[in-house]
Structure 1
């Protein structure tokens, strides 16, 4: 039987590692479990990645790249800045039941990143890319006369920080925050941060 191409095999191993992380958490992932799920040897996993730590970093790097591809696709759709901003913020936050989506990965990774500088760098790149995109859309909305916001960067960080906190509630708590809660609170935060250009009350 022909051996699989290196890139294909590496992608398979990375995908298996991500599935294991979702089920077991970072601390529970073992190379043997990744190998068993693919019906390959543990030696093959180490052949491609050297160490389990390098495999975990690569898994999160690829997950981050996939998220950034979705972000870039959304930004490229065109249309008014306010509509695109709402779409990007909707993409950023977890779904109603994201216990098996990407947010559990990011919560796990942020905890582990406090002790792993390589993982910290991966997450920081992802984090800054999202916040820069939100700030750029706010700037675009200001130039188009849609928003009045004296601090686009601060507004971007405050809005995404709110979504970060709500994501933890959705993923790590049971029923504390509903989808309707999130919609109302995010809409209220946007209204506060991004007043219509003609409404400068309190500014």
Structure 2
């Protein structure tokens, strides 16, 4: 059966999503243009037409993944409800115990970013925007009297560091004595409670 003819933007979207899946499965170093092409049943030449090198495809894939994550974060934080509910939704989604996908992708991205300036900028930008969004919702909660937090920026940094660290532990060492989901969730809830002056059960 003939493939449906896609627009340029639709084709790029398809290729980027396939690249993300292949990077998660194989890692940046091992993934090839041929792997992305095979996943979609298209030619290597088609992939190279849209992304002239593997490096450009990888950079575009991470940029695409970052945009998706930030769009979902803004959706969670943009709801018309209390700051506590919005923050809880964001943390529950982002935490390695939640529904956020792609921790393998971002751990891979952090590693490659040590040597690749383009990827470093993508991961740094995602990190900055995530921290800024969390800082903003915490500050709103303080202004509304929901939280007691003298330093929303510092709190956002510490919470992000905890979540990222747990993600590395739970993703990299899954099934090998890693922190359990239950314990990780407990630690996250306790940390948020301490930072925001909430009771242990409030979050």
SS at match of 2:66: helix
Partners of 1:108 and 1:170 in 2: how far apart?
14
Q: Are the counterparts in 2 of residues 75 and 88 from structure 1 also a CA contact under 8 Å?
A: yes
- Local SS of the residue matching 1:156: helix
Q: Which segments of 5 or more consecutive residues in structure 2 lack a partner in the other structure?
A: 199-203
The answer for the alignment partner of 1:173 in structure 2 is 173
The residue aligned with 1:146 is 146
Partner of 2:119: 119
Alpha-carbon deviation of 1:3?
4.7
- 2: CA distance between counterparts of 1:56 and 1:34? 11
Residues 97 and 171, structure 1, Cα contact 8 Å, conserved in 2: no
Q: Deviations over 1:120-164 (max 9, x none)?
A: 111111111111111111111110111111111001100110000
Which residues of structure 1 form unaligned runs of 5+?
Answer: 197-203
Equivalent-residue separation in structure 1 for 2:6 and 2:135 (angstroms): 43
CA–CA distance in 2 between the matches of 1:21 and 1:117?
Answer: 18
Q: What is the CA–CA distance in structure 1 between the aligned matches of 2:193 and 2:148, rounded to whole Å?
A: 10
1:6-155 matches, within 5 Å, as 6-95=8-97, 101-155=101-155
RMSD: 1.7
SS of match in other structure, 2:29:
helix
Runs of 4+ in structure 1 off by over 6 angstroms are: none
| 8 Å CA contact 1:14, 1:58 repeated in 2 | yes
Task: Give yes or no for contact 1:114–1:120 (8 Å, CA) kept in 2.
Answer: yes
| Counterpart contact for 2:135–2:155, Cα < 8 Å | yes
Between the two proteins, the alignment pairs up a number of residues equal to 194
Question: How far 1:105 sits from its partner (Å)?
Answer: 0.3
> When the two structures are superposed, what TM-score results if normalisation uses the length of structure 2?
0.90
Distance 2:145 2:113 in 1: 40
Compute the displacement of 1:91 (Å): 1.4
* 1:97 CA displacement: 8.9
- 1:33 and 1:148 map into 2 onto residues whose CA distance is 51
